[in-house]
Structure 1
Amino acid sequence: MALQLMKLFVSASTDTEVTPAVEKFFYVTAADTEPESTLTIDAADFFDDLGAEVVELPVLVDNNSYYHVYINGVLQMQDISTYTPGATGVGSLSIDVPAGPDSILTGTPIVLEIVNFDTTSTTDITT
């Protein structure tokens, strides 16, 4: 018999399910925020989809999440805001109003949208 290469036959398939977990937080400004200043909104100043006070802003899962900020219904550029998860006194959203003629006016709605992705995977191996 001639020499042969002997090797294992292994087959694998993985199914991954990705489910977004979306949370929205709302705030209405109490005063004008002028250009070149910062509006900081504490976690406790937000309310949720049901109108309840927010106790804590959720953690963003590393490499598997994002947040959006809407001011008066308009999606804002990412670099004008800073998101800090946590409870009252720690958790907050800060918005740096750029130089220019535009202020954030009293009574302006601000929406913070947090999206974390939950993933589950199963792998089947056949030998």
Structure 2
Amino acid sequence: MALQLMKLLVTATSTIETGPTPAKFFYVTTGETAAGATLSIDTADFFDDAGAAASNLPVLATSNSYFNVNVNGVLQMEGISTYTPGATTVGSLAIEVPAGGDSIPTGSPVVLEVINFSPTSTTTVTT
């Protein structure tokens, strides 16, 4: 028999699932925030879907998460909000109201939605 190269035959199949883990937080403004000013909301000022006071704002997973801010039911531009995860006095949401625009009136609902993705994968190798 002539010499020949012997190779392994290997096949692999991967299944990747990416499941979001959303968290929503709600706040109602207690005073007007004028144009050019910043509305700062502490973790303790938010309440969750069940109506309970929030105790912690979740960490954003690096390169695998995002947050949305809605004021009066309108999704806001990313550049006006600063999100800081953490417990009371550490975690917060700051909304910089653009100068020359409209203010945020008293009684306005603010909704913070934090979405982290939890990818899982399985690989089956057949030889």
Band of TM-score, shorter chain:
over 0.9
Q: Which runs of 5+ in 2 are unaligned?
A: none
**What amino acid maps onto 1:43 in structure 2?**
T
- Distance (Å, rounded) in 1 between the aligned partners of 2:89 and 2:12: 49
Give the equivalent residue in structure 1 for 2:35: 35
- Distance (Å, rounded) in 1 between the aligned partners of 2:100 and 2:93: 21
- Distance (Å, rounded) in 1 between the aligned partners of 2:119 and 2:49: 24
Q: Where has structure 1 moved over 4 Å in runs of 4 or more?
A: none
Q: How many residues align?
A: 127
**What amino acid maps onto 1:8 in structure 2?**
L
- Distance (Å, rounded) in 2 between the aligned partners of 1:69 and 1:3: 68
RMSD: 1.0
- Distance (Å, rounded) in 2 between the aligned partners of 1:61 and 1:101: 33
Q: How does 1:97-112 map to 2 (within 5 A)?
A: 97-112=97-112
Give the equivalent residue in structure 2 for 1:26: 26
User: TM (normalized to structure 1)?
Assistant: 0.95
| TM-fit CA distance, 1:52 | 0.3
**What amino acid maps onto 1:70 in structure 2?**
N
Q: How does 1:1-127 map to 2 (within 5 A)?
A: 1-127=1-127
